[in-house]
Amino acid sequence: MIPKVIISGVHTDESIDKFKSLRGCRFVFAENPGDIAENDLAEAEIFAGFITPDLCTKMPALRFVQLYSAGANGFSWLPERVTLANAYGAYGDSIAEHMLTTTLMAMKRMPEYLEMQKREGWELLKDIDRFEGAKILSVGMGAIGTSYLRKAAALGAECYGVRRSIHDQPDFVKELTTPDDMDRLLPDMDVVALSLPGTSEVSGMFDLRRLRLMKKSAILVNVGRGNSVVTADLIRVMEEGYLKAACLDVMDPEPLPPGHPLWTAPRVYITPHISGGYRAGVNYSRVVDVVVKNIGLVLSGKKPIHTVDRTLGY
């Protein structure tokens, strides 16, 4: 029987043509997984998109799931027979540009100047930082953290990295260390940027103790998952005037509910989890290319790229 492949979500004519260029399979395109016919679910061997436990129970022939996201925690429930892959690398450059934007914004105190403009003020703010020569620590050295440091180094920053194990140190990184040794570096860093997965291993990693290890003038950037920072502790240090800024594209809880004290905490700059995703068209094209490549590999009996270790969540 020819393998059946379900492609969920909204796609362009161009991307659909990319999928259809693959031979030796039958495609089912479904904007909403709830609209997929029972017989298609029962026969499908490959699924692309976000899958739920309920959907999976209807797919006894399923052997491969391809996520559109880079984040892959929360899928430990998938049966052992099912291989899981993410879209690692597709979002790195775009999210790194967002990180660079918010870092410079905080260094130059641009939010305060924009507020000043609203009241037609004319005041020279102090403590404007230079990016060149700044010490920047990326906690997380996957595609996102590595791309951010590459761009930061190009602008003259002194770059440091933290990853689970020491390997593949880029030449633009002065020192690479592990989380166990990270505390040694924190007091010297001007910027600490987090691009961590939402695993239990990193949950609460930046608590009151670690936040206070940072310079009072340091900037915190988080684009990974909100649970890596203890929200109540961050609010406390910001209210104490401890950090120069916290630039958050992710937070805990998320979405951040109206009235939550993080909204009004001083020098906290929030964006609603928009640094990645399909908001930049190039991200969508890159994700589709990863998905098409992986489905082709699976159909030919080969191992897909960026397979996920479900015990680690990435």
- Residue 274 pLDDT greater than 80, yes or no: yes
- Burial bucket for residue 178 (CB in 10 Å: 0-12, 13-18, 19+): exposed
DSSP 259-309: T-TTTTSTTEEE--S-SSTTSSHHHHHHHHHHHHHHHHHHHTT-PPSSB--
Helix (H, G, I), strand (E, B) or coil at 116: helix
250-273 b/e (C-beta count within 10 Å ≥ 16 → b): bbbeeebeeeeebeebebbbbeeb
What are 206-222's pLDDT values in tens digits?
A: 999 999 999 999 999 99
Under the banding of pLDDT at 50, 70 and 90, the label for residue 89 is: confident
**CATH code matching the domain that covers 92-270, chosen among 3.40.47.10, 3.40.50.720, 3.10.300.10, 1.10.10.10:** 3.40.50.720
- Burial bucket for residue 116 (CB in 10 Å: 0-12, 13-18, 19+): middle
What are 9-33's pLDDT values in tens digits?
A: 989 999 999 999 999 999 999 998 8
pLDDT at 91: 87
pLDDT at 278: 63
Top-confidence residue, 119 or 312: 119
Helix (H, G, I), strand (E, B) or coil at 118: helix
Residue whose tokens read 């951010």: 148
What are 90-103's pLDDT values in tens digits?
A: 888 999 999 999 99
Residue type (1 letter), 247:
C
Full-model pTM: 0.88
Parts of the chain belonging to CATH 3.40.50.720: 4-90+280-299, 92-270
Under the banding of pLDDT at 50, 70 and 90, the label for residue 200 is: confident
What is the average pLDDT score of the chain? 94
pLDDT at 39: 95
- Residue 280 pLDDT greater than 70, yes or no: no
- Residue 183 pLDDT greater than 80, yes or no: yes
Across 230-259, average pLDDT: 97
- Residue 185 pLDDT greater than 70, yes or no: yes
pLDDT at 33: 84
What are 221-240's pLDDT values in tens digits?
A: 999 999 999 999 999 999 99
Residue type (1 letter), 118:
K
pLDDT at 309: 85
Under the banding of pLDDT at 50, 70 and 90, the label for residue 72 is: confident
Across 155-169, average pLDDT: 95
**Separation between Cα atoms, residue 93 and residue 273, nearest integer Å:** 16
Class of domain 4-90+280-299: alpha beta
- Burial bucket for residue 67 (CB in 10 Å: 0-12, 13-18, 19+): buried
Across 168-175, average pLDDT: 96
- Residue 279 pLDDT greater than 60, yes or no: no
Under the banding of pLDDT at 50, 70 and 90, the label for residue 281 is: low
Question: What percentage of residues in the chain have a pLDDT greater than 90?
Answer: 84
